[in-house]
Amino acid sequence: MFVAKYLGRSRYSELSDDLKDFARLKAALADVDLDRDPHLFLFNVEGTSSYYVIFEEEVDSPEDVERLLKKDLGARLSRDSRERIARELSR
């Protein structure tokens, strides 16, 4: 199973062009309007050059994040990443 490492929270407009490609793909799949410049969580799949985006509006808890990672990538969240996500969502 892959492990996803949390890289941080950002707005869509703050991403590099390369990362915006990942966000555009996920926005199309999740029906998220990028014109609203949504907040998102960015992950790297450890051992790869792949990134994964979860829009803040898709989740309410670390368990929701883990569910999406497992469903979409067959990945789990690293332990330290789970703690960081919990802190971000509690803000």
Distance in angstroms (rounded) separating the CA atoms of residues 65 and 48 = 19
What pTM was estimated for this model as a whole? 0.90
Instruction: Summarize pLDDT for 36-91 with one digit per residue, the tens.
Output: 999 999 999 998 888 999 999 999 999 999 999 999 999 999 989 999 999 998 87
Given a contact cutoff of 8 angstroms between Cβ atoms, the answer to whether 66 and 77 are in contact is yes
DSSP state of 47: T
> For 13, how many CA atoms within 13 A lie in the half-sphere containing its CB?
5
Where residue 7 falls among pLDDT bands split at 50, 70, 90?
very high
CA dihedral 89, 52, 54, 70 (to 10 degrees): -90
Domain borders along the chain are: 2-89
